[in-house]
Amino acid sequence: MNVKISLPGSSMILLLMFLSNLVSMPLRASDDKTLSPYFLVNSSDPSVDRLPLRSTKAEVNIAGVIADVTVTQVYKNEGQNTLEAIYVFPASTKAAVYGMKMKVGSRTIVAEIKEKEVARREYEAAKSTGKRASLLEQSRPNVFQMNVANIAPGDEIKVTLQYTELLVPTKGVYEFAYPTVVGPRYSEQPAATASASEQFVATPYTKAGKLPTYDFDIKVHLAAGMPIQDVTCNTHQVNIHFKELTTAEIYLDKSESSGGNRDYILNYQLAGGEIESGLLLYEHGDENFFLLMVQPPKRVTPKKLPPREYVFIVDVSGSMRGFPLNTSKKLLRDLIVNLKPTDKFNVLLFAGTSGALADESLLASTENINMALNVIDNQRGGGGTRLLPAMQKALDLPRAEGISRSMVIVTDGYVRVEKEAFDLIRNNLDQSNLFSFGIGSSVNRYIIEGMAHVGMGEPMIITKPSEAHEQAEDFRQYIKSPVLTQIKPKFSDFEVYDMEPVSVPDVLADRPIIIFGKYRGKPKGKITIKGFTGNNKRYKKTFDVSQYKASPKNAALRYLWAREKVKVLDDYNKLERYDARKAEITQLGLDYNLMTAYTSFVAVDHEIVRNSSGKLVKVKQPLPLPKGVPNTAVGFDLSIGGMVRRALSPLDKVEKVEPVSIRAGVVTGKMSAEDHCKLQEQVNAQAAMLKICFKSSGSKKGLKNIRLAISIDREGNVVAIKTLCHDLPPQYLACLKRLIANWKFDTGQAVTFELPLTLAR
């Protein structure tokens, strides 16, 4: 069955049919509740403190290339009921979480690492018997959930957790990133069947532009071990004090006490742009650990390159509306305009569904580039975020023999299908390598970095529009040629085992090679790194192990090695329930006191029963929307037929609809003839998407005599929709309103216009 939309006085062009796919999926007949974020609704009960988290702060000690972070969360109950507080928060994707404590008054309880189910049972038992308890669980390697039970009125409970991570420089710049808030995730998974690790998706948020309800602070002590050349923080206002050439103290400015709505990113360079490459050693009982960091040679561009094809996969969902999508447009313009005429490219946009610019990639001619830019520039952002079908569609595109294909994914990563995406990439490495651009002030770095690492490419994060051009230039440099390929480490008279990675992939960026492992016996012998540079010249670098001494200061190596091992086993694999790797990951967590997907920290105050009644009010701590992320990232706010994403003006403000001379005419407001035509062009461009609603109508015949009055404000947002005339199934009408509510116009004034539609088979 072919379905078409008839818009009197207008015609649809092929390009707009491409745009028609980039919207949310039609409504399902069932009302199954799915996991999804939602907006906070304040309780009218004054006796309950709805926001128990009072503050979160981090103290960071950076020694050389290792950061050790202590995070303190303060919970206080100023209401009249005993609470259980639930708080979802992020951490670095490279974090090895190795400790937790709970402090109540003068009492400090050190948490124990246990199997996840055992820890949860112990917590629930303590909660039910009225004892104070805290539980730290991993939902994702970069998303954690803290539960604190039996916070009685007047109680203040401090929970601290500790993690360590390795700082890997790029182009001579070290970056420490501290994520502050978990962005909303798009999910189609039914809540009833969702696992415990997925429940974090159903998190409450405050509205866009609202500051966090809790205080935020971070202090960094930087001891670089070498003279520091420069320290900058472009995300927050900070005060920097240099004690000496090699150390610095970085304090958050007092004006940033509500700065917990975006990632804190600190960059620093060492004198002369040097990289602290070398060997770190640590001895712990009967295990010895090493970490080798090798700076690769400078990039050399070969004269001959194979033909290149680039498939740009671009997120245009609701969470990308505004700053992220505008930045994406700027980035893509830079990337596409600078393609060579011999290159091929394609653009695939995705939201609820996805559509490709062409059935197969096009030559980068001026005409094709202009067509692609026109498509991208017309995006406004709306709908869900269905990443996997878009990636599969890109992989299914025909590929010419002998051509080098790269997929470039541009998204904020607000999805819950990280491991599914990693598996899809891993299983298709022979088809394409992959680069990922994360756009936003607090992106899901787990999926951005993970997709690139699994795809043997590079991840890039853009937190503000001014960075788009620089990142586009970096990308062009990365793809010219590998810095180092066919890398082989050789160990002479130095017995190593349990090394990660087992094989070293090509180095594309100006970042060092990192090798973790264990060794037996005394540190002696040599380590040699061999490979080929981009122009096929041989490369060799040798380290004399005896020149390096094991140090207690390198104790983090034990956790970092274990975290790297867990990453290989779990982070990039969607494991089945009885997979043997789960047992190995669990044992690693228990042996190394490490948080994993299958181990958790639990702390119970066994000496005091704080809540003998057993009555408890569960409170989910609301999160701020990341800075720059619109309300459409969360979903339905106030509804017309249950389906509109923004709060709407009262529908009866459209008092009367006068007959109009053209079908998409102005009902209220004054417009020039030129603006009138411009409005109709914008209506036509967006109305093509309405054809997908036919599938949810249940009608086998055409539908006609559909007339809607649509009101828009000065900013071009749809603020009201009124049905004037129709004989439509409820599902179809709801679908129409859902899609139209996400339309965007450029009129410069508030107007109401009539939209007549005819739907035919």
Which residue do the tokens 């818009």 mark?
A: 7
Cite the beta strand spans of 554-640 per DSSP E. Answer: 599-609, 617-620
Model pLDDT, residue 12: 36
pLDDT of 656 higher than 50: no
Q: Is residue 656 situated within a structural domain?
A: yes
446: burial class by Cβ within 10 Å (0-12, 13-18, 19+)? Answer: buried
Model pLDDT, residue 121: 96
- Of 414, 429, 394, 382, give the one whose Cα is nearest residue 313: 394
Amino acid at site 205: Y
157, 148 in Cβ contact below 8 A? yes
Above pLDDT 70, what percent of the chain? 81
Q: Is residue 369 situated within a structural domain?
A: yes
Angle of CA points 737, 742, 747, to nearest 5°: 110
Top-confidence residue, 725 or 23: 725
Which residue do the tokens 């969702």 mark?
A: 194
Amino acid at site 743: W
CA-to-CA distance for 412 and 438, rounded, in angstroms?
A: 5
Model-level pTM?
0.76
pLDDT of 701 higher than 70: no
Distance separating the N- and C-terminal Cα atoms of the chain: 7
68, β-bridge pairs: 61, 164
CA-to-CA distance for 349 and 734, rounded, in angstroms?
A: 24
Tell me which of 429, 450, 480 is where a domain ends.
480
CA-to-CA distance for 446 and 418, rounded, in angstroms?
A: 8
Backbone angles phi, psi at 753, to 5 degrees: -130, 160
Cis peptide before 729 (omega within 30 of 0): no
165, 71 in Cβ contact below 8 A? no
Number of domains in the chain: 2
Q: Is residue 465 situated within a structural domain?
A: yes
Model pLDDT, residue 433: 79
Domain holding 350: CATH number? 3.40.50.410
Cite the beta strand spans of 610-652 per DSSP E. Answer: 617-620
CA-to-CA distance for 69 and 63, rounded, in angstroms?
A: 11
CA-to-CA distance for 325 and 533, rounded, in angstroms?
A: 37
Structure tokens at 143: 């998303």
Top-confidence residue, 62 or 185: 62
Tell me which of 427, 451, 480 is where a domain ends.
480
Average pLDDT over residues 718-723: 80
Q: Is residue 438 situated within a structural domain?
A: yes
Structure tokens at 225: 């071990």
Tell me which of 480, 501, 521 is where a domain ends.
480
Instruction: Specify the DSSP element, H or E, that contains 126.
Output: helix 116-128
Q: Is residue 497 situated within a structural domain?
A: no
CA-to-CA distance for 206 and 213, rounded, in angstroms?
A: 9
- Of 321, 330, 354, 378, give the one whose Cα is nearest residue 681: 378
> pLDDT by residue (tens digit) across 186-219?
777 777 777 788 888 888 888 888 889 999 999 9
- Of 113, 102, 95, give the one whose Cα is nearest residue 592: 113
Top-confidence residue, 686 or 491: 491
287-294: strand order across its sheet: 278-284, 287-294, 513-519, 496-500
> pLDDT by residue (tens digit) across 421-454?
988 888 887 777 788 999 988 999 999 999 988 8
SS3 assignment for 346-395: EEEEECCCEEECCCCCEECCHHHHHHHHHHHHCCCCCCCCCHHHHHHHHH
Average pLDDT over residues 297-318: 76
Residues 6+ apart with CB under 8 A from 53: 73, 74, 75, 85, 87, 213, 214, 621
Model pLDDT, residue 189: 75
Q: Is residue 551 situated within a structural domain?
A: no
pLDDT of 26 higher than 50: no
- Of 754, 757, 739, give the one whose Cα is nearest residue 640: 739
Backbone angles phi, psi at 19, to 5 degrees: -65, -25
> pLDDT by residue (tens digit) across 352-396?
777 788 888 999 998 888 888 888 887 877 767 888 888 998 888
Amino acid at site 71: V
Model pLDDT, residue 5: 40
pLDDT of 690 higher than 80: no
Q: Is residue 507 situated within a structural domain?
A: no
Q: Is 133 left (phi over 0), alpha (psi -120 to 50) or beta?
A: beta
Structure tokens at 505: 């992939």
Model pLDDT, residue 4: 38
Structure tokens at 54: 């009072």
- Of 678, 672, 689, 660, give the one whose Cα is nearest residue 716: 678
Residues 6+ apart with CB under 8 A from 175: 167, 169, 265, 266, 267
465, 485 in Cβ contact below 8 A? no
415, 332 in Cβ contact below 8 A? no
Average pLDDT over residues 588-616: 92
pLDDT of 10 higher than 50: no
pLDDT of 649 higher than 60: no
Model pLDDT, residue 699: 54
> pLDDT by residue (tens digit) across 464-522?
888 888 888 888 777 766 788 788 899 999 999 999 887 777 777 778 889 999 999 99
What CA–CA distances, in Å, run from 663 to 549, 743, 753? 81, 18, 9
Q: Is residue 442 situated within a structural domain?
A: yes
> Which range of residues forms the domain containing residue 725?
4-35+635-760
- Of 622, 633, 626, 624, give the one whose Cα is nearest residue 211: 624
pLDDT of 326 higher than 80: yes
pLDDT of 85 higher than 60: yes
Top-confidence residue, 164 or 635: 164
CA-to-CA distance for 624 and 444, rounded, in angstroms?
A: 15
Q: Strand 238-244 vs strand 247-252: parallel, antiparallel, or unpaired?
A: antiparallel
SS3 assignment for 405-458: EEEEEEECCCECCHHHHHHHHHCCCCCCEEEEEEECCCCCHHHHHHHHHHCCCC
Buried residues in 477-493 as b, exposed as e (16+ CB within 10 A)? ebbbbbbbbebebeeee
